[in-house]
Structure 1
């Protein structure tokens, strides 16, 4: 009976392998509002985040019962090796991958740059607090891509994370195919936040970029290493990379011109203005007589948690602050505010290095010459897209990891040209 079981399992795996490769070559699955979880994931009993103090929440594991022994061990080794390569330059995250993944792991999710793992399987959220919605796209029987679309700009969906479902014993594995699919999915994404692709790490260092192609009706990885750009695709039947000509992508490569998003343009111009913005104390309903300048608003609110932006400046504040500050904009202003003689702005001015939070609410200030340290030290560096204002040193390391996750040189040697 055991021999018969082995034979049946081998035949099943062989048939499923062929079917999986055929599906990956011929089918582009639609975007859905809900993920297409395997049955074993639906019956999972736990979720664990491999959080690093330095790296943040970048990897999430979905676990079955401790006694579950149906996952193929090679499948867990495969995804762990993928993660080690993906986070190669991110020491903080690699530290949590020093030990083997639990043998009862039935799903692994990892977040892209600018995103973090949420509190459940398939949940990924922007690190900057941007609000939007999530969609899912099946890549293979073992892979799903997760996309985030901002409410502010629904024209582009950003890859927020990837879900991998380890192969069960006796089922199709297709490691080479899934590895290539991950490479392609990551390479064909738009950077988050949206940036000029001509200055991107991927374009400059790897001569490729991602875009949506209306002819192919899907996101494509565009190779620009030659005289003319071409789609870089993977042939799952022959397990080799190939390049194909695309008229639309060729024209786009010539006519492409980066334009700053309208909201970013407006915010940038406002921040350059030497104007103040009205703020009030929530506890007293008192408008502060001396308000912070627009370019200092975010830091002022952070160090003064009892202060809100006045309702008449709500629209301006939303443009300046973006998402995540809804509770700090607007509110009820008292017609007869309390008279309190403390001065938060004056107290900020008395500290030479940085502003500090006021010890109590204030309605006025006598220091008319207050100048924020950031105003004196402000610069106008023309950073590239990897040096956006929200980035940290850890983000830069993670950017290198994501951008370097490209087809290896050994795979490139197998590339064939398809005219």
Structure 2
């Protein structure tokens, strides 16, 4: 059986459920969710920038045609935007990605890619300021974030993109919006004065956890100086800005204070994943560690309220192509 047929025969996903998960959010887990596409992994390569293993490429056999080019292009263009200040390093991504590229990993400031596409770690020389641990959250079937949790704050350690896991819908517009919002709302580690961070001084944007929204939010300060939630409507495919009393009050009362060491963290409830499997071994002989697996989203998410979508509104899921 050829790889493309083997890949397309893997467990299909329900479009309506997938839309529901994206809108309502996925759970926080204590180990990464491993999509079926990774069973085709034969190699894991890392690209180093200075002292940092910044980017990881997970590859299937050369010549494999497992993902849609449009999905790879979506992430490549986002990467070029994130790294535009380093044009020399961007030259690595000027050409189209090969279709046997099944996962792309990008580390954030003071973190680096580990020995698999879901593994991130603090860079050498960066010492934790408290008792930290890693957690994971999906934003779509294509996007999974790894967080370093310390003092009740989720610091984005890295982002992993699966161009077309399970061979199903691409959700290009929704995934593009999720990538942009996630990247722009990052809180850099170790934490510093928000008013002095690059995104605030250059773009008048910052991220914080909003208990009203129940999630990490990107806030944008317009000319009137009032912060607003910047969100994406996955039904109408439009960005929107909305006022939030909690975020406004926090913005106008914000005062930077050095965090206390070893403060007990107030953590988001974490879903425990019990089934354990071995990670695929790459052909570059890098060490593979045991990771935990959730075989499907349906097995870990339940109880979402039904979301009715007007038949007059087309969603990315309804427009998405399938891999033959």
Q: How does 1:249-328 map to 2 (within 5 A)?
A: 249-262=247-260
Q: Which residue of 1 aligns with 2:35?
A: 38
The C-alpha deviation readout for 1:322-367, integer Å capped at 9, x for no partner, is xxxxxxxxxxxxxxxxxxxxxxxxxxxxxxxxxxxxxxxxxxxxxx
Give, in angstroms, the shift of residue 93 of structure 1. Answer: 2.3
* Conserved 8 A contact 1:55-1:90: no
Deviations along 1:182-239, one digit per CA (max 9) or x if unpaired, are 1111222212221111112211221121111112221111122134322111101111
Counterpart contact for 1:60–1:108, Cα < 8 Å = yes
Aligned residues: 249
Q: Report deviation, 1:98.
A: 3.5
SS in 2 for 1:157: strand
**Match runs of 1:47-58 below 5 Å:** 47-52=44-49, 54=50, 56-58=52-54
Residues 105-132 of structure 1, C-alpha deviations (whole Å, 9 max, x = no match): 1111101122111111111122243353
Distance 1:58 1:35, change over 3 A: same
2:175 maps to what in 1?
Answer: 178
Counterpart of 2:142?
142
Aligned to 1:61: 57
Q: Which runs of 5+ in 1 are unaligned?
A: 265-419
Using the size of structure 1 for normalisation, the TM-score is 0.55
Preserved contact between residue 211 and residue 219 of structure 1 (Cα < 8 Å): yes
Distance 1:193 1:124 in 2: 16
Q: Is the 8 A contact 2:37 2:166 kept in 1?
A: no
* Alignment partners' CA distance in 2, 1:106 and 1:43: 8
Q: Which residue of 1 aligns with 2:239?
A: 241
Task: Decide which structure has the larger Cα Rg and report it.
Answer: 1
Give the 5 Å matches for 1:67-146: 67-127=63-123, 128-131=125-128, 132-146=132-146
Q: Is the CA contact (8 Å cut-off) linking 1:72 and 1:169 kept in structure 2?
A: no
- 1:197 corresponds in structure 2 to 194
Deviates more, 1:93-102 or 1:214-223: 93-102
Describe the superposition over 1:369-393 as per-residue Cα deviations: whole angstroms up to 9, x where unpaired.
xxxxxxxxxxxxxxxxxxxxxxxxx
The Cα shift of 1:50 comes to: 2.1
Aligned counterparts of 1:35 and 1:255: Cα–Cα separation in 2: 36
By how many angstroms is 1:66 displaced? 2.6
User: Matched residues in 2 for 1:64 and 1:119: separation?
Assistant: 16
- 239-248 vs 163-172, which moves further: 163-172
- Is 1:166–2:163 an aligned residue pair? yes
Separation of aligned partners in 1, 2:210 and 2:58: 34
Distance 2:75 2:31 in 1: 23
Q: Give the Cα separation in 2 of the matches to 1:231 and 1:66.
A: 43
Segments of 4+ moved more than 6 angstroms = none
Query: Relative to structure 1, is the Cα distance of residues 227 and 82 closer, same or farther in structure 2, using a 3 angstrom cutoff?
Result: closer
Gaps of 5+ in 2: 263-324
Q: 1:141-186: CA deviations, max 9, x gaps? A: 111111012xxx4321200111110126962112121111011112
Alignment partners' CA distance in 1, 2:208 and 2:151: 15
1:275-306, Cα deviation, whole Å (9 max, x unpaired): xxxxxxxxxxxxxxxxxxxxxxxxxxxxxxxx
Measured in 2, the distance between the counterparts of 1:129 and 1:63 equals 29
Structure with higher helix content: 1
TM-score normalised by L of structure 2: 0.70
Q: Distance in 2 between matches of 1:102 and 1:129?
A: 34
